[in-house]
Structure formats: structure tokens, C-alpha cells
Amino acid sequence: MELHIEDRPRHYCGVFGIYGPGLDVARLTFYGLYALQHRGQESAGMAVADGWRIELHKGMGLIPEVFNDRVINDLRGHLAIGHVRYSTTGASHPINAQPLVFHYGRGQIGLAHNGNLTNTESLRRQLAAEGAVFQTTTDSEVIVNLIARSGGRDLEEALAHCVREIRGAYSLVILAENQLLAVRDPYGFRPLCLGELGNAVVVASESCALDTIGARFLRDVAPGEIVVLDRNGMNSIQVARREHWAHCVFEYIYFARADSCIDGFNVNRVRRKLGEQLARECPADADIVLPVPDSGTPAARGYADGSGIPLEEGLMKNRYIGRTFIQPSQNQRELGVRLKLNPIREVLAGKRVVLVDDSLVRGTTSGKIVRLLREAGAREIHLRLSSPPITHPCYYGIDTSNRKELIAAEKEVEEIREFTGADTLAYLSLEGLLGAFGDYGRNFCTACFDGRYPVPVDGGGSCAVFKYK
């Protein structure tokens, strides 16, 4: 039995692409994907083109489990795309690993997708009725079919037609034998940025991947923009515009790496501001502030700054534990947390603790951490979350599509406090969260907190029109 240790929503995916004549694009893609490993740990893949054909290698597991020197040396070309995946639609199975590579009327095409379409079912039925045959169970294959069946004059026009048909969240990198395209959905749900490495142009889900390979950040891909990279350089096509966007605010709360900059905001700085605001909104009479490592650390620093209570490291994280482990028996579920987090008794004994984490989804892991701290001698535990309660499922690429899994959808705050065993529990307000972005706060999707979905979902009549107040 596999146990996912962290009680958090899992990331969607990460994508990377590079157009770099004269460079070892396969090795650069390997390092870029390594930097994006936090966005997906079920499978990884890379497709490389040399102007004549596309070579593909992918598999289940982490980057070093899927790739080695021999594989990388065999992937030769001057343009490449890569992908790390968590399954959001489609089972966790080798056939669903990306990039997807197909033959079609114009040659070969490869695609890597970060996000989740919301009209997959209707499009899939339509394509199947027209004779399409699907090899995977992912929504990404729907995109490939739409591109292949488009009557556009070239790949750019075919992709523009596709953008008009698909709904939902998507940042895509698309590979042809001698061309690389990137596109971001019109709401900008998923991040995507551009970088420069000498004469090469790089596309990545997060700027940390650019930093890793030594590329210079150029800009974010605009929502509704198609970027074309080929021997003619870099060209941009704006195929859709909206008055306001709907960036996923959870990128800043938890998903993105703290050293990334997304749409003009440094993730680490935002998390510290959320912690400062949390201290103002939800004070506690305590001796120390304690982060849940690692994603809760910036917010805990902000809470300490805002409250004047000293920050302490009282939970040590084992960074060598894998994504999952095999449980000997159901009776040893506590072992998952103990393997990953170990309390420092000398720091905690007799102390009143403010325990700061980024979010609480199901509540089970938070309860186990609270018990660990009590066993280590903590006198009081005040749990503070740097996000509002997650009360609604996400249909745009996070694995919280079942509302019954969300403890805040089923219980009041006091009931959640009792469930976790904390002495007090408090969440950051939605106003406090968006306030960290100033006037730009109108450009975020907050559906997981308030149920106001920017884009309708197949069969989901309850989806509201996105509106900011």
C-alpha cells in the first residue's frame, strides 16, 4: 500500500521547453525538469527534435529514475520539451506519462500540458463520433486531436483554432520537428514564463527552472498568448484577451517553489506577507513560532516578524524520504509523519507554540503533527494557516475534485480544531490573502475558497461566473 505522507493538495504538472541550436538541449531539459520536480513526481518525460524527427523518452518515477547519461546522450537535437506529472485527469499509468508524441498529417507533434480542461467530456465525445481513436485517458490527448484535425494552414493557426475550442486551465509546450510553441490559457490559471540562454529561448512553468540552467528571465507568457520559436526567432500571437485573469492563488500559498517569480510577484515574499497578515488577524499568546517545513517556513517567518514572537526550528524534516513508502500494516500510519518530521524536544518542552502551516486539506497530517509536538512536551499549540479554509473542489488541475475529502467543507472551524487536537486554530481571511497583491488581487482564481468558478465544468451547472469584489 502506498501512502502519500503530506496532507496537501498535490501539484498538477510542470513543463519545460527550449529552442537552442548548438546546445545540448536534452541535458538542459533534464536540469530544468529537476528544478520543477516539486510540481510532479509520478512520471517524467522528454521529447527532442532535430529538424527531421522527434525522439521520446518517458517513464514512471522521479527525474533520476527515468533518465540517465546514456538516455540523455541518445536524445539529440536542437529543440526539446519536457514534463513532470501528477495525475489530475487520467490514471497514474505509463501510457499517460507525457510528453505525448503522435504522427499526423503534417508530420510529428509532441505535447506537454500543465493544467486541466473543463470541457474534456464533450470534446472527447465529439471527436470520437468523428472517428478519433484515443490511446490515453488524459485530457491532453484531446488537445492533440483538435490540433491534428484543424484545417489551419500551419501549426500556429491550428493551435489558435484549438484555443477557441478548449476550456479550462492549460499551459502547453508543443513540439514539431523544427518548431516549438508555447501557449497559456486566456485566464492564465497556470504559470508559464520565457527565458534567454545565449541565443536560445527557454519556456518553463516557473522561473526557478530558468535560474537552474543559467537562463535570464525575459517575461511571463501572457494569458491567451501563443509564442512561436523557430529559425525565424521568437514571435507572439495574442489569440484571446480578458479584462481580468484568474491565476491560481495556490501557486503562491503552496505549489510554486519559494525562489520563483510568477506574474511579477516573488513567491517567498508573498508567503512572508501572508504570514505577517496572519499575525495581525489571528494573534496568539505564545513563546515561539514554529513552521511546518518546508512550505510553511516563509509564512512562519512573516508571522514571527508581525507578532514579535521568536521563530524557532522545532521540527526537523527528513529530506531523503521518498514520495511514498510501503506500510507494513495499517496500524503503523503514524510512521509516515515520524519518518518525515521529527520534533526537537529541547526547543518544545514547556513552550506555548504557534504552529504555522500553509493550508489544511483533510486535517489528518495536522493532527499527527500536533500529537508529535505534545509528546515532545509542548504546553500549548496554536495552529495558524496562511490560507483561508478550502471548502470547494478544484477542477483546474489540483487533486481536490471530491468535496467530501475537504474537512472545511464538512466541519466548522471549532470542529476542525477538535479534530486536529490544537488548543486554538485560525485561518487567514480571503481578504487578507488577496490584499498581499494590492489591486492585482482581482486577477486570481479563489474557487477553492469561495466556490466562484471562473470557467464552467462539463456537467457542472453550479459553476459561477468569476467576479471580484
Catalytic residues: 13
Residue 68 confidence (pLDDT): 96
**Is 321's pLDDT higher than 70?**
no
Phi/psi of residue 190, each to 5°?
-100, 140
Residue corresponding to grid cell 522521479: 62
Residue 1 confidence (pLDDT): 26
* Angstrom distance (rounded) from CA 193 to CA 207: 7
Residues annotated within the binding site for [4Fe-4S] cluster are 248, 394, 445, 448
Residue 330 confidence (pLDDT): 39
- Residue 329 — very low, low, confident or very high, per pLDDT cuts 50/70/90? very low
Coil, strand or helix at 8: coil
Higher pLDDT, 49 or 462: 49
Higher pLDDT, 272 or 364: 272
Residue 236 confidence (pLDDT): 97
Mean pLDDT score across all residues of the chain: 90
Q: What is the DSSP string of 387-455?
A: S----S---SSSS---GGG-HHHHS-HHHHHHHHT-SEEEE--HHHHHHTTGGGGGGEE-HHHH---SS
Lowest mean pLDDT among 131-140, 196-205, 432-441: 131-140
Higher pLDDT, 456 or 184: 184
Q: What is the mean pLDDT of residues 219-242?
A: 96
Residues annotated within the binding site are 248, 295, 357-358, 394, 445, 448
pTM over 0.85: yes
Q: What is the mean pLDDT of residues 341-363?
A: 95
Q: What is the mean pLDDT of residues 421-440?
A: 98
**Is 258's pLDDT higher than 90?**
yes
Distances (CA, A) of 363 to 2, 248, 257, 415, 469: 19, 22, 23, 11, 30
- Residue 139 — very low, low, confident or very high, per pLDDT cuts 50/70/90? confident
H-run or E-run covering 162: helix 155-165
Residue 404 confidence (pLDDT): 83
Residue 401 confidence (pLDDT): 55
Say whether the peptide bond before residue 99 is cis (omega within 30 degrees of 0).
yes
- Residue 318 — very low, low, confident or very high, per pLDDT cuts 50/70/90? confident
Going by C-alpha positions, the residue among 366, 376, 272, 384 that lies closest to residue 314 is 376
| pLDDT tens, residue by residue, 69-95 | 999 999 999 999 999 987 544 455 677
Highest mean pLDDT pick, 248-252, 314-318, 320-324: 248-252
User: Is the Cβ–Cβ distance between 176 and 126 less than 8 Å?
Assistant: no
* Angstrom distance (rounded) from CA 166 to CA 232: 28
Residues 6+ apart with CB under 8 A from 386: 253, 271, 274, 275, 278, 296, 299, 302, 303, 356, 357, 358, 359, 428
Lowest mean pLDDT among 7-16, 98-107, 285-294: 7-16
Q: Give the length of the chain.
A: 469
Higher pLDDT, 415 or 326: 415
**Is 354's pLDDT higher than 50?**
yes
| pLDDT tens, residue by residue, 379-404 | 999 999 999 999 999 999 876 657 88
Higher pLDDT, 89 or 128: 128
- The one-character DSSP state at 281 is H
* Angle between the N-to-C axes of helices 297-307 and 267-281, in degrees from 0 to 180, rounded to the nearest 10: 50
Residue 463 confidence (pLDDT): 32
Residue 169 confidence (pLDDT): 95
Residue 134 confidence (pLDDT): 85
**Burial of 343 from C-beta contacts in 10 A (0-12 / 13-18 / 19+):** buried
Cα Rg of the chain (Å, integer): 22
In what side-by-side order are the strands of the sheet with 179-184?
Answer: 100-104, 107-117, 168-176, 179-184, 225-230, 233-238
Q: Is the dihedral of CA 166, 169, 175, 181 positive or negative?
A: positive
Domains of the chain: 13-242 (3.60.20.10), 269-441 (3.40.50.2020)
User: Is the Cβ–Cβ distance between 267 and 261 less than 8 Å?
Assistant: yes
